[in-house]
A and B are shown apart, each in its own frame.
Chain A
């Protein structure tokens, strides 16, 4: 503590002498952790992949995300799903999926289905065999309309009972897509 105190004293006197002269222009900060884009690709054997995408290029800025769904799902089909997460404020875009997969014990995707005749199942897991969910399968049955919500939680309780309420943690992504099964 004593050393800290005296080094602090010495530092202050130094700063005092050197004063400051930063007339120079500050550098812009490129947000490193911002997630701008979520792309979910659903591929069925032989069919055209369907893409669900949410893109918000100004990050925490005032513009709302732009949400697009490339097509409808077919009845009674099993889709293999992959999720990609990007930071497109950087150039080239940074693939945040890699970080999420690397820190798989601290992340988990949740799939919320409302009004759709479909079920999901996790396709990848962390080292403790708890779900991660950047890969999954989606199985449809009868025709219906509704929505799918993708939620990525950072530092959730693991293992959890599969509900957001039980998992806790903080939300990194929460996007709802309107989807039709026909």
Chain B
């Protein structure tokens, strides 16, 4: 609201007064939209004229001496959203104006330095702002999120990046793109979210399952990728953003165009393209690691305070080459790769995307409508459709060359609605319903047995969330959600596998047809999940707050956990799901204390997450084929405990110097087997020094140090028989790589071109010292080093 006042004050001086003989007058009353109480102290301004009045204690106002018959009024109140009204002084002289008396829309106004309105009161939330996103626009969504403490990433090379929140990833992290829950086969470790980070305006991260409106199964957390909010004013503007990179010898570019109208209509179109060749580690080319990516979106809608609608379509296609050296034949090849300090296949730099590779296309279509009811609340209805097409190409022989090994099409329809009751100042209630149908089809023409079977999945969810403002300082939030999910699959099992798993004993009645060496089965599995949350937010004043939250959440197993059955060449492993897997249940307690002043601030978030029946994938044994031995990775369930702390601190030392510090520590243990969990992020320490000199064309220089410790807690390695040396050998598959330190640097300046401060040029250097290192959470750590130095030139133009 300060912003509006500022704006109004500015307008005051800008617009000269036109003294005329005018006699028209209007009067009216300003009331709260929700509970209809009068609003005192509301400012009523005649737009474009030097006239303003303030409402009295009864919410009334009168403006005299008006000349025009058609005038525009801006009505604002420190605690409300401003409203614009066009009136005819001949027709209306006694107005009744209702203002939105809650801070609900505050997050639409970007006030520098002020906290964003949270999606929940008591969960830990962090927002990555546009400026940071623009600086990270050459990377991926996962890279941008790593700027938040407690977030790491699970990589397959540098281009496939899955965000990990407090040690959890994949199906445990919900990603919402413009309020649509992404359904893009998020279950696979080598499946990156299909989101174009250069199209995002803001990314909010909610740690834990406290935001039940998005789903009950967010054991890790929720990531909200939001486009820009449209403002109802007549404008046409756009943005061009491009990055050129030395590592990969390519770049990306995004163009965005927005047309909005005073009556609330808006259209936004955006398109992006990215192309990189082979990436380079400090000592060698990472052969076959290029990427080609195309994204686009179109958004049309109409917003007003009372009602609005939006239609949104987005397209995302990425074609990602997978490191050639990571495609291996058997356990001996894997041992050879682990022992060799460099990849077994290095070719000169090239742009070609050869096999192995993956190509994923994601379509997202959404329509929504909202309406506010005076004295009641706001109703929202949304429908969305998503189609995810995934091809994975392996190195194949003969006629199969060029035919994908995996060809899956996932289609999802979702209808959701929710109603928010905010008429009462003391509380806010929200009810919601969700229905979803999903169909997966695996094309049999691949000539490879389906890794994920054909299935139909039905989901129904219902939730209620309440927020109670107990005092001006204390807010209580609670929520409860129920989800039903049914998965109806048609899956072929090899007879030998069916028997080896003991399914012939337990699931004999699922068999539809016997093809000799294969069985067609029809598993129909139902899951009932309950989730709930309760939390408190206590505002201590002086920009300090404490939050405490408990969340119960249950997650049904995903198709990969249930049905996986086959050989993954990319990891030389056989992955086995289990039909007996049940929902996992998480109990998480998180406390956070936070202070945000202009001079300094901190966040301290300890948490404990106990997950019963935690589903995990880890090496469990070896199987022999004519190709030799393969480690078997099986899904199993255990009782897991994740405990950790995320801490961050910033300090503005002098007006130009600022430092930022982050540390995240997490310990994951398997309580059933009394040992460490696999793939738990090691301790990360991040320190940043920022120098800013606004008078020098907004000069900003940032130096960032990233220290990642060695993970010293990991499950034991397994022993396998090696045909090559004719004896049992230890397969060093779980041993983490040593600690590493990487320095990054970013510089930018802003210049005046067409309008004011509209052209920004920046240079970003990642891995400044060109250090060789490997990361524990990179699936390609067995085969090659991470990327070496990358110098990026960034251009941004607003027009």
Contacts and interface: CB of A to CB of B under 8 A. Distances in A.
A154 B723 contact: no
A38 B453 CA distance: 30
A171 B439 contact: no
Interface stretch (A19-27, A75-83, A124-132): A19-27
A38 B494 contact: no
Given A28-B444, A154-B397, A12 B363 contact: yes
B363 A64 contact: no
A142 interface: no
A37 interface: yes
A56 B444 contact: no
A45 interface: no
A4 B317 CA distance: 10
Interface residues of B, number: 67
Interface in B427-459: 439, 441-442, 444, 446-450, 453-454
B574 interface: yes
Contacts of A121: none
Contacts of A168: 344-345
A173 interface: yes
B448 A29 contact: yes
B336 A165 contact: yes
Interface in B470-508: 490, 492, 494-497, 500
Interface in A144-159: 147, 149, 151, 153-155
B715 interface: no
Given A64-B624, A165-B336, A89 B395 contact: no
Interface in A1-33: 1, 4-5, 8-9, 11-12, 15-16, 20, 22, 25-33
B328 A170 contact: yes
Interface string A55-93: 011111111110000000000000000000000010000
B338 to A, nearest CB: 13
B579 to A, nearest CB: 15
Contact of B329 (A26, A114, A172, A176): A172
Contacts of B400: 32-33
B793 to A, nearest CB: 22
A60 B397 contact: no
B437 to A, nearest CB: 10
Contacts of B329: 153-154, 169-172, 174
Contact of B447 (A33, A37, A169): A33
B294 interface: yes
B515 A8 contact: no
A62 B623 contact: yes
Nearest to A60: B567
A102 B398 contact: yes
Interface in A31-51: 31-33, 35-38
Given A62-B496, A154-B329, A174-B723, A12 B513 contact: no
A1 B273 contact: yes
Interface of A: 1, 4-5, 8-9, 11-12, 15-16, 20, 22, 25-33, 35-38, 54, 56-65, 89, 96, 99-100, 102-103, 112, 114, 147, 149, 151, 153-155, 164-165, 168-176
